[in-house]
């Protein structure tokens, strides 16, 4: 072959013309395809992600709606008089504060930092002793015995803190989730949040009965997994049925005798949020003190269950999951704030 040949070799089988043709349709097809994909990207349902990000509010404060109306004039008013235990005071709690009870002589028994601390007078730390880790609640009997509840267990102590017995609470395959405890005469009443009932035991741990299961749900409704109760002088148990926004009252043999309360975000006598009231205490004259979360406040209801007083959220930490309440013999309300780890006393003014 002539080396100066510039045209295609004669034996070419027409590859060159075919190559030229394909060189035309391929880019056209590609352009059409690319335009189609871009159009699909623009017109897709939902389209491009929203262009400008909305001014997010990155505040860490929880979403707490304020109560709609200012509290109307109520028959009673309470004001904080003393802070018995708090940061900087003797016996301050550094890590946790999870229980409150009042002794017969109005001594304050507080559970926190894996200890029980007894405060007498205006905050003088009188006694202290260690309790099991993750203890959740405590109670004081009229003879100064102390009962401490923890997961699946109850421990009993003498008035000086000597361990005098204990037993397992709940059943073997379902240990009790003990969230409240009371010592009534010769019985120990234990709130079992796992089974959603209150169990009655004697001092050795033999179960004597169950309170709260005689209703349509076979127990209390506890979305916040916590049950609190108190026992008044006549032996009636008043318990927080948080899922129903009620305080229900039962006799010791498990018969429901009363209930009051309903859900509401606007009226002060209603209970706010999804699961309230979270804590309850009885007053010697038959009134009931309740504590709520989400809007952290404490309310006093009279014997006829009308709202008598409201201690507002400015007194408590807004992140409180509980506010432990107790009433002493003179009618003063003692509250324990587990977020700020303070115990304060409110008196009628």
Partner 1 sequence: MWPLILLVLAFASSALLAQYQRKPPDFGGTYTFPTPTHPEPRASVERALDMVMLGAGLGLGAYLILKRRTRAGVVLLSIAAIAYFGFYRKGCTCPIGAIQNVTLALVDPRYLISFGVLVFFFLPLVAALLVGRVFCGAVCPHGAVQDLVLLRPKKVPERVDRVLRWLPYVYLAVVVLFAGWGLPIVAEGGKALVGRRFLICEWDPFIGLFRITGSFHMLAIGAGFIVAGMFYGRPYCRWLCPYGALLSLCSRVAWKNVSITPDKELSCGLCAESCPYDAIHDFQADRASCVACARCYDSCPRHVKLRRGQPVALKLYRRSQAGTGVS
Partner 2 sequence: MSETTTRRQFIDRTCRVIGLTALGGAAGLLARRASAHAVFQVDPVKCTACDLCRTSCVLSLSAVKAVNEFSKCGYCRLCPAYMDVTSQPDEKGIPSGKVCPQDALKRRVVGREDPDDPNNNYYEYTVDEARCTGCGKCVKACKPPAGNGSLRLEIRYDRCVGCNECGILVTCPSTAIVRVLTPGLSPTAAPGGEPHA
Binding site for partner 2 (CB under 8 A): 44-50, 52-54, 56-60, 62-65, 68, 216-218, 221-225, 243-245, 262-265, 272-275, 293-294, 296, 318-321
Name the β-bridge partners of 124: 120
Find, among 237, 301, 304, 245, the residue nearest to 272 by Cα. Answer: 245
- The piece of 26-34, 160-168, 250-258, 267-275 that touches partner 1 (CB under 8 A) is 26-34
Question: How far apart, in Å, are the Cα atoms of 14 and each of 2, 11, 18, 321?
Answer: 20, 9, 7, 85
51 in contact with partner 1 (CB under 8 A):
yes
Residues 6+ apart with CB under 8 A from 24: none
17 in contact with partner 1 (CB under 8 A):
no
Q: Measured between alpha carbons, how far is 317 from 155 in angstroms, rounded to an integer?
A: 30
- Binding at 38: pick from partner 1, partner 2, none (beta carbon under 5-8 Å per type): partner 1
Nearer to partner 2, 220 or 346 (CB): 220
Provide the token pair at 140.
């004081």
Q: Helix count (H) and strand count (E) of the chain?
A: 1, 24
226 in contact with partner 1 (CB under 8 A):
yes
Cβ of residue 55: shortest distance to partner 1, in angstroms? 14
CB neighbourhood size of 79 (10 A): 10
Nearer to partner 1, 184 or 256 (CB): 256
Residues 6+ apart with CB under 8 A from 25: none
198 in contact with partner 1 (CB under 8 A):
no
- The piece of 158-166, 214-222, 269-277, 295-303 that touches partner 1 (CB under 8 A) is 214-222
Cβ of residue 42: shortest distance to partner 1, in angstroms? 6
Cβ of residue 314: shortest distance to partner 2, in angstroms? 16
CB neighbourhood size of 74 (10 A): 16
Find, among 157, 56, 141, the residue nearest to 107 by Cα. Answer: 141
Cβ of residue 342: shortest distance to partner 1, in angstroms? 16
Q: Measured between alpha carbons, how far is 26 from 312 in angstroms, rounded to an integer?
A: 76
Cβ of residue 342: shortest distance to partner 2, in angstroms? 17
Interface residue list for partner 1 (CB under 8 A): 1, 3-9, 11-13, 15-16, 19, 22, 26-28, 30-31, 34-35, 37-38, 40-42, 44, 48-49, 51, 96, 98, 174, 177, 193-196, 217-219, 222, 225-226, 321, 338
């Amino acid at each position: 072959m002539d080396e100066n040949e510039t045209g295609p070799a004669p034996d070419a089988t027409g590859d060159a013309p075919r190559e030229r043709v394909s060189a035309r349709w391929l880019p056209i097809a590609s352009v059409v395809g690319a335009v189609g994909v871009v159009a699909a990207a623009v017109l897709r349902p939902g389209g491009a992600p929203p262009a400008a990000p909305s001014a997010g509010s990155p505040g860490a404060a929880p979403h707490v709606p304020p109560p709609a109306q200012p509290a109307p004039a109520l028959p009673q008013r309470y004001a904080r008089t003393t802070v018995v235990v708090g940061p900087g005071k003797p016996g301050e709690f550094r890590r946790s504060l999870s229980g409150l009870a009042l002794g017969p002589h109005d001594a304050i028994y507080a559970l926190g930092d894996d200890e029980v601390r007894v405060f007498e007078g205006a905050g003088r730390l009188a006694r202290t002793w260690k309790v099991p880790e993750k203890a959740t609640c405590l109670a004081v009997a009229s003879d100064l015995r102390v009962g401490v509840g923890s997961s699946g267990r109850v421990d009993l102590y003498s008035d000086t803190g000597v361990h005098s017995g204990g037993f397992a609470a709940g059943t073997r395959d379902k240990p009790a989730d003990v969230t409240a405890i009371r010592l009534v005469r010769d019985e120990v009443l234990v709130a079992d949040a796992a089974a959603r009932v209150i169990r009655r035991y004697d001092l050795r741990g033999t179960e004597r009965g169950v309170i709260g299961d005689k209703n349509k749900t076979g127990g209390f409704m506890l979305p916040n997994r916590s049950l609190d109760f108190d026992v008044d002088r006549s032996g009636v148990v008043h318990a927080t049925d948080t899922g129903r926004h009620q305080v229900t009252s039962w006799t010791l043999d498990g018969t429901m005798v009363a209930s009051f309360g309903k859900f509401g975000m606007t009226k002060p006598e209603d209970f706010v949020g999804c699961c309230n009231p979270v804590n309850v205490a009885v007053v010697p004259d038959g009134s009931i003190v309740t504590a709520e979360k989400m809007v952290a406040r404490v309310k006093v209801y009279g014997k006829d269950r009308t709202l008598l007083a409201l201690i507002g959220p400015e007194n408590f930490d807004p992140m409180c999951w509980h506010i432990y309440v107790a009433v002493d013999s003179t009618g003063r309300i003692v509250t324990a704030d587990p977020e700020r780890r303070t115990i304060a006393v409110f008196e009628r003014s």
